Structure formats: C-alpha cells, structure tokens
Copies of this chain bind each other. A is one copy, B any other.
C-alpha cells in the first residue's frame, strides 16, 4: 500500500486530510488501491486533532520512507516548498501542489525533475481552485491547437466587483465587506492589485504554449481604479466589469498575457460569473471554445483538486502523464502591451453621438455603441485608444475611464 504525506496542515492541508477520510472508500474503489495518509508535516503540534499522531516536523521522515508514494504540498510560498517538493520528486514520490506561486516561479524545473525521476508533478489546484482546468488542458483538449485562455481567476476581486455592480457599493466598502467575510486578507494587495491572478495566468500560459512565462512577462493592473460609476455605466451598456486574466497567441506567434479590469459584454457567459466563483474560457481549433466554472478558493474546493491529483497519481502509478514546459532564455516569444488590441469602453461626461463620431474619425476607430456618458469603440491598440481619448478632450469632453473590452 502506497501512502500519502501532506505538507502543511493549514486550511488547504487540513481540507485534504478531511476530504480524503470522508471519501476514502470511494477513492479506493476508483483507484483500485488501498490508500492512507501516513504523515502530516507541520512545524506546529495539533493537540486534540483526530490526526495529531500523524504530525511530523522533519521532511526527512517523509523522504526516507519508501512507503510514501504521493505527497500533497499545501504549504504555500516558494521556500521551503521548492526544496521540499524537489526532494520528494527526486525520491520518486509524485507531488500535487495547491501552491500557485511555486508553480508560476518554478514549474519548469519541477516538471523536469519529476520526469527525470519517473513520477508526476501535478498542480490542478493552482489555477481556479476546485475547477478542473489543468488536466482537461493537457488531456481532453490536447488534440487541439489552443490559441487563448481568459477568465476570472480571482474570487476576491470578483466578489468586490459584484457588490459594486449589484449592491451599488463603492470599492472601499465592498473591500471591507470581503475582508469581514474572510474573502480578502487584511493586506488585500495580492488580490486587488492582480498579483494572484497574474500567477495563474503564468501557469495557464506556460501549460498552453509550452514555454515558461514568468510573472514579470504579464502586464498586470488591478481593480483599485474602478469606480461605482464605471460599473453602473457598464451595466447600462449591457455588460459588467470583471478582472480578467488572459493569455493568447498573437498572429505573429508571440504570446501576450495580461491581467486587467475589462468590460465583458453580457452575451459572454463570463459576465454572469458572480460572487467568489472563478471561470476560464479556452479557445482552440477543434473544440472552438469551452468554459470551466467553479469555486476558485476555499478549504474543501482546493482540497478537492489536490485529491484529484493524488488519485490520478495513484492510478497512473509510474506512468508520467504530466505535461511539461521548457525555459526559453530568449524571451522574444513574449509580446509587450503595445501589441494589445481590443475594443475599448469609455466613460465621459455628457457628450453627443456626433462628438464621439468625429473623435473616432480623428483617431481611426469606429464607434460601436453609445449611451449617455459612454461609448464603445472598435478594436485598437493603446496608442490609438489614447488618441481617441485625446480627440474627445480636444472637443471639451472629459474622459473619466477607459476600459478594454473582452472579446469572446
């Protein structure tokens, strides 16, 4: 019987242990194997915990035990997670992690070590929490040429934007509520400024396009500048403002990855994803488009994804099924934000359709939609988008916001 070790007994780690024992019989039936959690690694003691006797404080206990075949890394952060995971893989133990920072920064290296040691490195929980997205990308959809993925990758900001949209709360008030409900940290910057979504974009981009995309290659802008007025105008124009993480292959073959607030038209399913839920739309040549939706965070949802990986490890045994990507030192394959070309949504003070039209003509774009104090213009790059704003200003119109539009 191969056994499981769980690294880190915090929210996610304890969820993995809880869900495993709740569904042990079902899991063993599915894998056709007896399974058990043998060790829980944590610096702390957990007196009174039903699994307190499994707690160890030294990673070597796990590394040296040949009975441990599968490791769930739920510690977070790069250090010492990277050393621990590397060592486990080198000892031939397959690893599943929920640690997006680890995958975004060290995924290429860990996948390589796993391959060399005939075991798997899985990270389904690192993007979209419980949502099956990583495995479908490298199995179910693997017969396709995938060209893009985009969606809501951070539940905290989606909750805040929904409160602004539905309950007409201001940003600060909605953030305070998210903090009270435990959806946002006391320092909310990783969520609100986009770093969390950025890491998930890196993982999706690396997996889809086969080359490691680092966080600093992703243009990242958070939601702090989004106002209640922006959100209300978006509603009036038939859409919603969402924080969208996106990676796509441009016509010239380069990869453009972004995290930014976008206007999402209501005919896209993404615009209807509410609360702390996440959703990722993926585009490819055979399947056209497909969307994955679910809980992006939380104890049991994240545990669900980690356990799914462990089950796959147990079934696959030493068949290495994980995908890999490589490090390309030459970063010419990364496109900069100057290559970003989408329609744009503008919020202005009072302005007639005529004035929008002449500014559009001056900037070389087409007005696609107008309403009181707002318009949407056709696909353009940032420079052209600024030209349009400047042309409006030259006509005496104030431009309060300029938000890119997500294309479906």
Contact = CB atoms under 8 A, between A and B. Distances in A.
Best-buried of A136, A290, A295 by chain B (most CB within 10 Å): A290
A216 B151 CA distance: 40
Contacts of A145: 22-23, 26
A307 interface: yes
Given A269-B269, A286-B130, A124 B143 contact: no
Best-buried of A19, A140, A144, A317 by chain B (most CB within 10 Å): A140
A132 B140 contact: yes
Nearest to A115: B32
A176 interface: no
| Interface size bracket, A side | 35 or more
Contact of A143 (B23, B135, B143, B292): B23
Contact of A287 (B143, B210, B267, B295): B295
Interface string A299-312: 01101111110111
A34 to B, nearest CB: 16
Given A293-B293, A300-B286, A132 B132 contact: yes
A258 to B, nearest CB: 23
A323 B143 contact: no
A331 interface: no
Interface in A180-217: 210
Contacts of A27: 142-143
A288 interface: yes
B286 A143 contact: no
Contact of A293 (B140, B274, B290, B315): B290
Nearest to A138: B30
A60 interface: no
A143 B140 CA distance: 19
A294 interface: yes
A292 B29 CA distance: 25
Contact of A30 (B136, B142, B305, B308): B142
A407 interface: no
A304 B287 contact: yes
A311 B272 contact: no
Given A144-B19, A269-B269, A269-B273, A308 B139 contact: yes
A393 interface: no
A311 B22 contact: no
Interface in A321-376: 321, 323
Nearest to A308: B140
Contact of A323 (B15, B30, B138, B317): B30
A236 interface: no
Nearest to A29: B210
A395 interface: no
Given A131-B290, A136-B132, A272-B269, A143 B316 contact: no
Contact of A286 (B140, B292, B303, B310): B303
Interface of A: 15, 19-20, 22-23, 26-27, 29-30, 124, 130-132, 135-136, 138-145, 210, 267, 269, 272-274, 284-295, 300-301, 303-308, 310-312, 315-317, 319, 321, 323
Given A23-B286, A130-B286, A290-B295, 16 more contacts: A15-B286, A19-B285, A23-B144, A27-B142, A29-B210, A30-B138, A30-B142, A136-B140, A141-B308, A142-B307, A142-B311, A269-B273, A285-B300, A290-B294, A292-B293, A312-B321
